[in-house]
Amino acid sequence: MVFDDKDLRPVRGGMRDLTPEEYYPMLQIFDKLARVAESFGYLRVETPALEHYEILKAKAGEDVINEIYYFKDKAGREVGLRFDMTVPVARVVSYRVDVPKPIRWYYITKVWRYDEPQHGRYREFHQFGIEFIGSSSVRADAEVLAVGVEALKALSIGDFRIRINDRRVIDQLLGKLGISGELRPSVLRIMDKRGKVPDDELLRMLRDLGLNNDTAQEVLRLANTSESIDKVIDSFREFGVSDEFIKYYSELIDLLDMYGIRNYMDLDMGIVRGLDYYTGIVFEMYVPDYKLSVGGVAVGMII
């Protein structure tokens, strides 16, 4: 059989061949990231590329389900390529009850999403991440934020900002607006489109869910609230956030000071992240020189 030039190239749509001049610099980046993770006590873990489709589907959320590379294997089993590493790691922890907690694991490995390729985004890509499992303390959240900052500093990529939000706070505020628990995941998915979709379109989408105009406007105001982390307490009080979270964030800011990373942080109440299992702090790491988010982390319970 004779193949033409098109057949010899990688599968179209965000797949790449990495030849030595590209691959070795990538390995140097991986080494720097590994050193940061291990300096905080994290140990490296790997899982199979294939997962049971039902597990991926159950934890992906409506938008990400459509991005899963899904197929049946020769035995007729429904499987999919992992779209991130949090779900596989949680699966491992769910049956490896012998592993003592808290667990600090990290990974640098390939994941796949059948997404639209664009600037800085491919369908097959390497993901670096950490998982801190078994602690819901403010100290654990501060540590995760510190690892994120130190990872970006190690790469010497210039100025960057960490945009923080909290799914618990957003859930509380959506409840105060009278939005039912059943409807909130759909509202969150619309909020997550902030910055990618014009505000008028977001309002239309919110109204299409059945929200009245005043409620839709208030959700949009919430999503567009962004300021220095120093103003987080004032903003939360203005929105009527409970004392429990005001106390939590007062402690968090003190810990960020301890790590010396407070000046990298901003509050951005439009950052909610698209996956359904996120239930706590969420954040994105934005690099102005590249005009894109180079990473994001969230705290959640998915087991």
pLDDT digits (tens, 9 = 90+) for 227-261: 899 999 999 999 999 999 999 999 999 999 999 99
Query: Pick the residue with more confidence: 116 or 97?
Result: 97
* Residue-range domain boundaries for the chain: 1-134, 137-303
What is the pLDDT at residue 246?
94
Across the chain, mean pLDDT equals 88
- Above 70 in pLDDT, residue 108? yes
**Mean pLDDT of the region 64-75:** 90
Q: Check if the beta carbon of residue 262 is closer than 8 Å to that of residue 229.
A: yes
Query: Pick the residue with more confidence: 12 or 137?
Result: 137
Helix (H, G, I), strand (E, B), or coil: what is residue 141?
helix
Alpha-carbon span 278 to 272, nearest angstrom: 8
- Above 80 in pLDDT, residue 268? yes
Q: How many CB atoms lie within 10 A of CB 261?
A: 18
Query: Pick the residue with more confidence: 193 or 82?
Result: 82
Domain 1-134 matches domain 137-303 at the CATH topology level: yes
Instruction: Say if residue 284 is exposed, middle or buried (CB neighbours under 10 Å; 0-12, 13-18, 19+).
Output: buried
303 pLDDT band, cuts 50/70/90, is very low
pTM, full prediction: 0.87
- Above 70 in pLDDT, residue 61? no
- CA nearest neighbour of 186 among 163, 219, 161, 209: 209
- Above 60 in pLDDT, residue 276? no
What is the pLDDT at residue 295?
74
**Mean pLDDT of the region 80-101:** 93
Query: Pick the residue with more confidence: 207 or 14?
Result: 207
Alpha carbon distances (Å) from 241 to 3, 166, 235, 294: 62, 11, 9, 30
How do residues 114-133 score in pLDDT, each as one tens digit? Answer: 887 666 678 999 999 999 99
What is the pLDDT at residue 274?
55
How do residues 184-229 score in pLDDT, each as one tens digit? Answer: 888 988 998 888 889 999 999 999 999 999 999 999 999 999 989 9
How do residues 131-187 score in pLDDT, each as one tens digit? Answer: 999 988 999 999 999 999 999 999 998 899 999 999 899 999 999 999 998 898 889
Q: Check if the beta carbon of residue 33 is closer than 8 Å to that of residue 154.
A: yes
> Where would I find the H helices in the chain?
5-8, 20-39, 53-60, 62-65, 86-95, 138-155, 167-176, 184-191, 199-208, 213-223, 232-239, 243-259
Alpha-carbon span 60 to 56, nearest angstrom: 6
Numbers of helices and strands, H then E, in the chain: 12, 11
In one-letter notation, the amino acid at residue 214 is D
* Domain 1-134 class, CATH top level: alpha beta
Alpha-carbon span 262 to 252, nearest angstrom: 10
- CA nearest neighbour of 94 among 298, 276, 301, 273: 301
Find the angle CA(49)-CA(298)-CA(29) to the nearest 5 degrees: 60
What is the pLDDT at residue 47?
97
The token pair that represents 86 in the structure block: 């949090």
**Mean pLDDT of the region 91-108:** 94
What is the pLDDT at residue 299?
47
For residue 51, list its beta bridge partners.
80
Q: Check if the beta carbon of residue 249 is closer than 8 Å to that of residue 233.
A: yes
Helix (H, G, I), strand (E, B), or coil: what is residue 73?
coil
275 pLDDT band, cuts 50/70/90, is low
Fold of the domain built from segment(s) 137-303: BirA Bifunctional Protein; domain 2 (3.30.930)
